[in-house]
A and B are shown apart, each in its own frame.
Chain A
């Protein structure tokens, strides 16, 4: 059990949760959280937004039963965390772009802190949030509301690109990575996938991802995958 330090509403439906304790983790890893007893049944995976000496932070979007309960948390409340799980983003060198769509910006803040001086692209459908926290960490910060953030990124000018966002955005990023390759510039594109999970540790196989070399587990082999490895079926 851990104690909630704060749970701040940033904009409508988006919250910034800070939890006290000695919680580690690298960029792109996640925790399985629950702030209830038996129901809802499954814990909810949330990416690490940042880790520091006080504890660990999350940024989450309220979409259903579980995150609605998270939104009710106030300082001093108890919450259960298991983790950190997953592989996380690789530590890379060279020119890096971080691209986040909506709540997909959550894991990128930790990346931005670890890889200072990246170009950061944040796209939102309606309302931007948390963008000012990214500004001091970015070589260049591009924020877009209502458009397609990927249209603002020249994939050929980066060595490494980290992407987290909704499913269609991940597929589009994969295609842009492949297109960039044909120009001779070959950025390594990494995607963070958000498959439904049950165990979060690699035991149940409900989070399976089809990859070139067969089935992989989003929770244990991912959530970060090299874009070219993933086979998107739909």
Chain B
């Protein structure tokens, strides 16, 4: 069997297939359809310190080869997650990643502290805890916070530095394709002690209802994901992977084993699968199988052989 495993800051991924935040809930729903422990990892729905109701109005619109979403970080809040969802994660044999969002700097910091405290308690009790924090400074769908931090490097730097100081957990920073300079942003993350960078989040986009003469979204703009963004995502992963020495977690429009291989060849250590989960509810299990088959057919014995080869 080809070796598909990877390691980021001591966190083991049995394969590079991680489910992307916001497209996999906390895994329970998909867990009814297949064994989610087959996966390399799960990045849970983006959490904020306090529960968030998300955006009103239309939240999804299909586009050519993609979709726009305007969920607006609806989530139960970190404490509810720790109490109600983490016990399910304990039962899984896969990397557990908490995706952390926020409105303000103190939100991010307090959120990270809560997660760290819980991880400490779990470590004492010998229980599995969160393996990694994925810091989301790139959500295009919340007015305050989110993307506001993710566009300009100095603003992002402040958040990354503060969160790095608040947690010892492995930290990946999720970057926005809407950043002014994504490679510079990644270099800053590395300098501030991030263990990895994740990219890309959705690309800010728009849809107009011509009969109503208005945007279909209350927030005007929404986040574009799916195969439509894959070429952009791949280019950014390639660009960033050649500028930093920390691992890159790549994503954007992945729907097949060959897509995964492209991202690995561009320099990604592991990848995430988002929108494809909606196109194929069994995306995780079918990709795990497809990747094995592809590597076997192409005589690739380990992903390390091809990582960053382009």
Contacts and interface: CB of A to CB of B under 8 A. Distances in A.
B60 A196 contact: yes
B59 interface: yes
Select the residue from A38, A202, A205, A207 with max chain B CB neighbours within 10 A.
Answer: A205
A201 B59 CA distance: 16
B67 A215 contact: no
A198 B74 contact: no
A40 B227 contact: no
B255 interface: yes
Given A42-B279, A199-B281, A215-B53, A205 B59 contact: yes
A42 to B, nearest CB: 6
Given A199-B29, A208-B74, A41 B60 contact: no
B54 A205 contact: yes
A32 B282 CA distance: 13
B65 A41 contact: yes
Contacts of A42: 60, 62, 67, 278-279
Contacts of A204: 22-23, 25, 60, 69, 71, 278
A41 B24 contact: no
A210 B59 contact: no
B202 interface: no
Contacts of B45: 203, 205
A9 B59 CA distance: 32
A62 interface: no
A172 to B, nearest CB: 21
A43 interface: yes
A196 B54 contact: no
Given A38-B227, A41-B65, A202 B54 contact: no
A14 interface: no
B64 to A, nearest CB: 8
B67 A202 contact: no
B275 interface: yes
B29 A203 contact: yes
A40 to B, nearest CB: 6
A216 B60 CA distance: 16
Contacts of A220: 29
A199 B54 contact: no
B145 interface: no
A38 B253 CA distance: 12
Nearest to A204: B23
B225 to A, nearest CB: 10
A206 B226 contact: no
Contact of A40 (B24, B58, B62): B62
Interface string A24-54: 0000000010000011111100000000000
Given A201-B30, A202-B25, A203-B24, A208 B59 contact: yes
Nearest to B63: A41
A144 interface: no
B74 A203 contact: no
A212 to B, nearest CB: 13
B154 interface: no
Contact of A198 (B29, B57, B65, B67): B67
A203 B31 CA distance: 11
B56 interface: yes
Interface in A87-123: none
Given A42-B67, A204-B278, 16 more contacts: A38-B279, A41-B66, A41-B226, A41-B278, A42-B279, A43-B278, A199-B281, A201-B29, A201-B32, A201-B33, A203-B29, A205-B71, A207-B60, A208-B71, A215-B54, A220-B29
Interface of A: 32, 38-43, 82, 196-208, 210, 214-215, 220, 233
